[in-house]
Every structure is written in C-alpha cells, then in structure tokens.
Amino acid sequence: MKKLWGGRFQQSTDSLMERFSASISYDRILYAYDIEGSIAHCKMLAKCKIIKPAEAKKIIGGLGRIAKEFDEGRFEVHERLEDIHMNIESRLAELIGPVAGKLHTARSRNDQICLDIRMYLRDEVDEILLEIHRLAKTLLNLAKKNIDHIIPGYTHLQRAQPVLLSHHLLAHLEMFLRDRDRLKDCLKRINVMPLGSAALAGTNFPIDRHYVAKLLKFPAVSHNSMDSVSDRDFLIEFGSAASIIMMHLSRFCEEVILWSSSEFNMIELSDAFSTGSSIMPQKKNPDPAELIRGKTGRVYGNLVALLTLMKSLPLAYNRDLQEDKEPLFDSVNTVKMCLAVFDGMIKSAKFKKVSLEKLQTEGFLTATDIADYLVLKDLPFREAHEITGKTVAYCVQSKKNLAEVSLAEFKKISPRFKEDVMDHISIESSMDRKISHGGTARKNVVAQIERLKKELQKK
C-alpha cells in the first residue's frame, strides 16, 4: 500500500513512527462525515469544471461503496495509512483506479479534518441537546408529582429553611436549561464550513465554497484560510459547555449520594440504578451518582488538554492538532452517557417524605419566619434577628423546639411577641409566605412549573 505523500521520500517510515503517527484507531468514527464531505467536494469540483462529470460520477460511486463497507463492518483499516482520510482515499484508488487521485484537488487534509470534526460535533451536540431535554422533562414531571413534598433547605449543609422538593428539583432544571442555551450558542461557531481553505493559503482553483456549504447544510463559510485550518475554539467552547454540564450533574449527584444515606434518608434509588457490595450484604450503593461525579474530572481534564494543546501553536496547521480528537470524543461520549444514566437514576428513584413533625422539631427551620414576624411588628430586622436568636437559645437550653414554646414564654423573651406569633412558626405557613418572585411558596412553584412546561414545548 503506497503512502499518498511518498513522492519526496527515499526511505520508508520506521514502524515505530508509523504506530506513533497513526490516528486511525480513533478517527475512524469520522468515516461517514469524511465521505459525505468528499462527495460534496467532488460535486463542487465537477460543477466548477475542475474535474469532468464522468470522473465525479466514478468517484462518488466509489465513495458510496466505501461507506457501505464501513457500515457493514467490512472496511479494513491500515495503520500505515495513518488516518481516516488516507485510508478512504487509498481504498478509493483500489476500487476505481487513478481517477481517485483527482478527489484531493483543491483541498488538504488540514481543512478536511476540520470539516469532519465540525460535522461530527454538530450532530453530537444535537444528541446531547436531546438528552438534556429528556432530563429536563423528567425533572419537571418529578416536580409536578412531588408538589406537596417539603424538605429542609440547606446552606453550609446546615438546616436552613423549609423548601418544596419541587423547588429544589427545579433549581437543577434551571441549570440544565442554561446548559442547553450554552450548547445552542456554541453550535453557531461549530457550524461554519472550512473546506477549500486547503493547506493554509486557499487554492488556485476556481472552487465554490458556498456551494459545498449548501450541500453540507452549513449556514456559513469561514473567511480566512489560515484561521480555518488552525481554529479549534469551537472544541474548547464545547469542552467548556460539557464541563459545566458535568459540574451540574456532579453537584446533583452529590446530593443524591447524601440523600440516600441513612443519615439523610431522603431518597431511595431503584435496584435498576444501584449496586451492591461484594462483602457487605446489606448495602445498596449509589454507584451511578458516584461514577458521574468521578467522570466529571475526566471531562474537565479534556478541556484543559485542549486549552493546553492550543496555547502556543503558531499559525497555521500543526500536527499537534491531531491530539484534539481523543479528548473531544471522550467528552462527547461521557457527557451523553452521564446525562442518560442520571435521567434513568433520578426517574426511577423514590423520594421519601420527611414528616412535618421531623421538619418542625429538628433544626429550627422557621426561625427566620419569627424574625420576619417581628419586623412586621415594626422592629428593625437586626433587632428582630437578635430576639429570635435568643428564642432559639432558650429552646436549646430548655430542650424544646419552636412549636413547643408557649405564648407566655415568647412574651417573656420579648413583649413584642403577640398571640399571632403562633401562626408564623409552622412549616406550612413558612412555605406559603415565600411569595417573592423565585421563592418557594407553593403557588410560585406551580407557576414556575407552568412556565417551564411551555419553555420545554418550544422547538
């Protein structure tokens, strides 16, 4: 098998160098895009009368056969042909003879690989968007289903104020919607057609790059050939969007892990999405959540690998750029899989109701409501805070919870307390009062569910 660039070489490549240089083991997954791009390029060459119609027909026929060989798992790749581009071109020559050599007119592998990864990534981003949409719908349904379920809200991982579980779930949904928007925005920069930039300078042939863009459904073509072949910003943007998605999943996973412990006892994962211990028979572990949390590091690492890859590359193409693919593919696969697994895990989990009694008796969740009550009695908030603090201290000392303090005791702490303070201590009334926009009052959350339902129906 002849090397396609062998002309100026007298010695053959060292076998170690061949192995070192080859990317075919991982870039073979780009075959369909490489072939589709080549077919569009070939049609354009014929349209611009750079090759003859009969030649184009032969080339396109051959490329079709190669696509079929790949689809059916019959295509034999060769490491010594380095990458996906040369494996395909070399096979084309075997199939249709020397006319195959005309395909590479007015292009280079430098612009070809950029085209391939842009086509690959826009498809994958669409898939990731579908996964995000699916998870968003799951969270919305869970929020609807659990609308009466109150949980302790935390700050500093200390019990803070009561919130609706639905409110908590929708907080995560907001994050995933931002992830969706970030990916859609990133898609604009992915969806730019680089082919025809050739090696770096453009080409002598009267090609029609806009026609290729139209055939391949790119809304824009790149404007500078040197930038085209060396730009990997879109990968870094994707890597960053992917890292943020993983960070969001990982935070949620951390909560699932905490909540499934007997200390929190707030969630039970389904058998389908948990695993056992090989030594401790009683255990049911939240492994999917832990694995997602763990894989987050990999995706961050991929982003840093891409940034580092680019940081001192002079224009234009450099072979270093071949190293962009493994981190890219790994992030794509990891994010897609993690979104799907998380969806399965959370959809099948059982949220355990925390009893009102437990909420009322542990953690003084409505202390802030008492301070707010005093503000209604015209006390500055800072003073109200102080008096409420004293009330809590009194409770701790006398081993009571807020609901157990009598009116007489309240009045002893401060004469500002009146009979109606009793209405402000209960968990339910605390919930109902959080009516500020974005607050956790039930009617707010119901309105948010409606808004999000419409948002998710949009195309």
Catalogue the active-site residues: 156, 277
For the CB of residue 105, give the shortest distance to ligand ARG in the complex, in Å. Answer: 16
Q: How many CB atoms lie within 10 A of CB 219?
A: 10
- 115/242 with CB nearer ligand ARG: 115
322 binds ligand ARG (CB under 6 A): yes
* Segment contacting ligand ARG by CB under 6 A, of 29-37, 96-104, 318-326, 363-371: 318-326
Site for ligand ARG in 186-215 (CB under 6 A): none
> DSSP string spanning 298-351?
HHHHHHHHHHHHHTTPPSS--GGGGGGHHHHHHHHHHHHHHHHHHHHHHHT-EE
- Are 110 and 199 a contacting pair, CB within 8 Å? yes
Q: What's the closest the beta carbon of residue 154 comes to ligand ARG, in angstroms? A: 47
Among 8, 319, 458, 459, binds ligand ARG (CB under 6 A): 319
Q: For ligand ARG, which stretch binds (CB under 6 A), given 54-62, 108-116, 157-165, 385-393?
A: 108-116
For ligand ARG (CB under 6 A), the number of binding residues is 8
Give the nearest distance from C-beta 104 to ligand ARG in angstroms: 12
Q: Rounded to the nearest whole angstrom, what is the least distance from the CB of residue 6 to ligand ARG in the complex? A: 13
| Nearest to ligand ARG of 244, 321 (CB atom) | 321
Figure out which of the listed residues 34, 55, 83, 343 binds ligand ARG, where binding follows CB under 6 A.
83
CA geometry: angle at 313 spanning 116 and 4, to 5°? 45
Contact 92, 54 (CB under 8 A): no
Q: Please, which residues bridge with residue 350 across strands?
A: 268
Supply the minimum distance, in Å, between the C-beta of residue 21 and ligand ARG: 9
Q: Which of 327, 331, 298 is nearest to 310 (CA)?
A: 327
Enumerate residues 6+ apart whose C-beta is below 8 A from 135. 176, 339, 342, 343, 346
Subset of 233-292 contacting ligand ARG (CB under 6 A): none
9 SS3 class: coil
Q: In the set 63, 121, 289, 321, which binds ligand ARG (CB under 6 A)?
A: 321
Stretch that binds ligand ARG, among 107-115, 207-215, 263-271, 425-433 (CB under 6 A): 107-115
β-strand pairing of 192-193 with 220-221:
parallel
Of 11-19, 178-186, 319-327, 398-406, the segment contacting ligand ARG by CB under 6 A is: 319-327
Nearer to ligand ARG, 109 or 149 (CB): 109
State which of residues 42, 113, 186, 292 lies at the interface with ligand ARG (CB under 6 A): 113
Span near ligand ARG by CB under 6 A; candidates 234-242, 316-324, 331-339, 366-374: 316-324
Quote the least distance from Cβ 136 to ligand ARG, whole Å: 35
Question: Peptide bond before 316: cis, by omega within 30 degrees of 0?
Answer: yes
CB distance 383 to 375 below 8 Å: no
Whose Cβ is closer to ligand ARG: residue 20's or residue 281's? 20
Closer to ligand ARG by Cβ: residue 23 or 90: 23
With respect to ligand ARG, which residue has the nearer C-beta, 161 or 322? 322
Closest to ligand ARG by CB, 7 vs 281, is 7
CA 370 to each of CA 84, 183, 294, 329, 382: distance values in angstroms, whole numbers, following the listed order: 69, 44, 42, 54, 12
Cβ–Cβ < 8 Å for 193, 218: yes
Nearer Cβ to ligand ARG, position 113 or 140?
Answer: 113
Q: Are 234 and 183 a contacting pair, CB within 8 Å?
A: no
In what helix (H) or strand (E) does residue 151 lie, and over which residues does it extend?
strand 150-155
Q: Please identify which residue in 109, 118, 168, 248 interacts with ligand ARG, judged by CB under 6 A.
A: 109
Q: Which of 110, 366, 430, 440 binds ligand ARG (CB under 6 A)?
A: 110
Nearer to ligand ARG, 84 or 186 (CB): 84
Tokens of 363: 């953690």
The CB-of-200 to ligand ARG minimum distance in angstroms stands at: 10
SS3 content of the chain, % helix, strand, coil (to 5): 65, 5, 30
Angle, vertex CA 254, rays to CA 248 and CA 259, nearest 5: 130
CB 316 within 8 A of CB 200: yes
CA 227 from centre of chain: 27
Which of these ranges, 143-151, 178-186, 317-325, 443-451, lies near ligand ARG under the rule CB under 6 A? 317-325
Q: CA torsion sign, 172 to 177 to 180 to 181? A: negative
**Binding to ligand ARG (CB under 6 A): which residues in 17-56?**
23
* Beta-carbon count within 10 A of 193 CB: 27
* CB 65 to ligand ARG: min, Å: 23
Rounded CA-CA distance 218/211 in Å is 10
Interface residues with ligand ARG (CB under 6 A) are: 23, 83, 109-110, 113, 319, 321-322
